[in-house]
Amino acid sequence: MPLLPSVLFVCVHNAGRSQMAAGWLSHLAGDRIEVRSAGSRPAAEINPVAVQAMREVGIDITGHQPKILTVDAVEGSDVVITMGCGDACPIFPGKRYEDWALADPARQDIEAVRIIRDEIRERIEKLIATLTTAR
């Protein structure tokens, strides 16, 4: 049985964008893709407005915790998607890297976070299509 493709979402605090992306990918891809997320400087907790925005579309990310970005997480992933972490993300040969320019949901109201959430969903749907047809 082939190994599942693995995706790592990285942002600075691992509290908003990367958590929403991980939630979307888990929800939309099910068990077809392994999902990870991490931050270069993780926050103490997930952004409550991001949790609220995801809950509105039926995805519960309340049980998730911000995690520190490790070399092992990058090495163990096929695709590394960064979201505003700049040079904090280690680069390894043979990995697919994408940088998603997304607004930071920190200190944003729910209307702004909904826009970010929906943009992430669009990107996740395209990502799933490339990962599931490439195998």
Locate the domains of the chain by residue range.
6-133
CATH (one of 3.40.50.2300, 3.40.630.10, 1.10.10.10, 3.40.50.300) for 6-133? 3.40.50.2300
28 in catalytic set: no
On whether the CB atoms of residues 6 and 77 are closer than 8 A, the answer is yes
Tell me if 123 sits within 8 A of 57, measured CB to CB: no
pLDDT of residue 85: 67
11 is catalytic: yes
Of residues 50, 89, 116, 127, which has the active-site annotation? 89
Answer yes or no: 26 catalytic.
no
Please pick, among 11, 102, 120, 131, the residue that the annotation labels catalytic. Answer: 11
User: Tell me, what's the pLDDT at 1?
Assistant: 42
Distance (Å, whole) CA 87 – CA 114: 27
Low-confidence ranges of the chain (pLDDT < 70): 1-2, 85-90, 134-135
* β 34-39/96-99 pair status: unpaired
Q: What is the pLDDT of residue 127?
A: 97
